[in-house]
Amino acid sequence: MTPELVGGLESPDYASHDRASHEPYTQVFTGDVRRELDELLKRYPNKMAALLPALWIVQRERGWVPEEGMVEVADLLELTPAYVKGVVTFYTMYHQHPVGKYFIQVCTTSPCGICGAEDVVKAFLRHTNAGELGVTSPDKKFTVIEVECLGACGFATPVMVNDEFIESVTPDRVPDILAKLT
C-alpha cells in the first residue's frame, strides 16, 4: 500500500510522540563538554548568543533535546526554560523527541519535487518499514521525514542521514544506501 504523503504543515518531526519513555536524563555539560561550551561562550558578547550552539551540543550528546536538556541549558545561559523551549520549537532541526538511529530527511520542495523526490520518499518508507512519515520504524532504526529545500537542488534528490549529506538519490539507490548504514 503506498503511504499517504499529505498532511498538516507541521513538520512530521514535531509530532508529539511518546516522550515519557526515554532514559533518565544525565547532565550534558560536565567535564570536556562543559569546557567546550565555555570556549564557545568566548565568541559572543553575551550568553544568550550561545543558545543555538549549546542546543546542538545537547542533541549531539543525547540524540535529541529533552526538556531536562532545555532546563540545563537555560540555567547555564541565564535564560528561562520557557524561553529556551520557544527557541527549540522554532527551529526544525532540533528533535523534540527521540528518533530512530538513522534520521532520514528527504527534500521534496519543488526543484526536487519535479525530479521525482516523492518517489524517493516512498522508497525510503517502504525499505525501512517505517511506513509513515515521522514515525520510527519498529526496529527503532529509522525515522523518515520530508524536509524543505536542502540547498543541493542541482543534485536532486538530496537526502540527509543524520549528519551525512547524500546527493542525487533515486529510488533504485535507496536499498544500497540503507544497506551501507546497517
Partner 1 sequence: MAEQKMVNLTIEGRQVSVPEGTTILEAAKTAGVLIPHYCYHPGLPVAGVCRMCLVEVEKAPKLAPSCATTVAEGQVVHVHNEKSLDARKGVLEMLLINHPLDCPICDQSGECELQDYTYQEGRADSRYREPKRFNPAEDFGGDVMYVPNRCILCTRCVRFMDDIAKEPTLNVSERGDRALIGKFEGRDMTHPWAANVIDLCPVGALLSKDFLNKARAWELDRAASICPNCTQGCNVIMETRENQIVRMRPRPNENVNAFFMCDWGRLNYRWMNEKNRVERPMVRDTNALVPTSWEAAITSAARVLNGKKVFVAASPMLSNESLFLLTQLMQDGNGAFRVREGEEAPLAGVKDLALRRERAANVYGAEKLGFKKTTDLLSGLGQGDVLLVAGEDLDGIDASALSRASAVVVINSVLPESAPNAAVVLPIANFSEEEGTVTNLRGRVQRFTQARQAPGETRPSWLVLGDLLGAMGRQTSFFLPSDVFAKLASTHKSFAGLSYDSIGLKGLPVVDAQSNGQNAPVAVGAA
Partner 2 sequence: MGFPHQPHPRETTVLSKYFGDAEARTLDGWKKRGGYKALEKALGMAPADIVNIVKESGLRGRGGAGFPTGLKWSFMKPGDGKPHYLCCNADESEPGTFKDRECMRWTPHALIEGCAIGAYAIGAETAYIYIRGEFTEPLYWMEKAVKEAYAAGIIGKNAMGTGKRVDVHVHKGAGAYICGEETALMNSLEGRRGNPRIKPPFPAVSGVFGMPTTINNVETLIASAPILLNGADWYKKMCLSNPKSTGTKLFSVCGNVQRPGTYEVVMGFPFREFLYDLCGGPLHGRKFKAVIPGGASVPIQTMEEAEATLMDYEGFVEKGSMLGSGGVIVIDDAQPMVTVIARIARFFAHESCSQCTQCREGTAWTTKILERIRDGEGTMEDLDTLLDIAEQMTGKTICVLSDSCAVPVVSGIKKFRNEFEALIQGRRFHPVAAAVA
Binding interface with partner 2 (CB under 8 A):
6, 9, 11, 43, 45-46, 48-53, 55-56, 77, 79, 86-87, 90-94, 105, 108-115, 147-156, 160, 163-165
**What residue 177 binds from partner 2, partner 1, none (CB within 5 to 8 A, per partner kind)?**
none
C-alpha cell, 15: 509530532
Report helix angle 51-62 to 31-41, nearest 10.
160
In the complex with partner 2, the residue whose CB is nearer, 50 or 169, is 50
For the bound state, the minimum distance from the C-beta of residue 140 to partner 2, rounded and expressed in Å, comes to: 23
**Residues in contact with 29: Cβ distance below 8 Å, sequence separation at least 6, in sequence order:** 37, 54, 57, 72, 73, 76
In the complex with partner 1, the residue whose CB is nearer, 8 or 31, is 8
111 touches 97 (CB < 8 A): no
Binding site for partner 1 (CB under 8 A): 8-10, 14, 67, 70-71, 79-83, 85-86, 89-90, 92
For the bound state, the minimum distance from the C-beta of residue 4 to partner 1, rounded and expressed in Å, comes to: 16
Distance CA 158, CA 149 (A): 9
Distance CA 64, CA 111 (A): 30
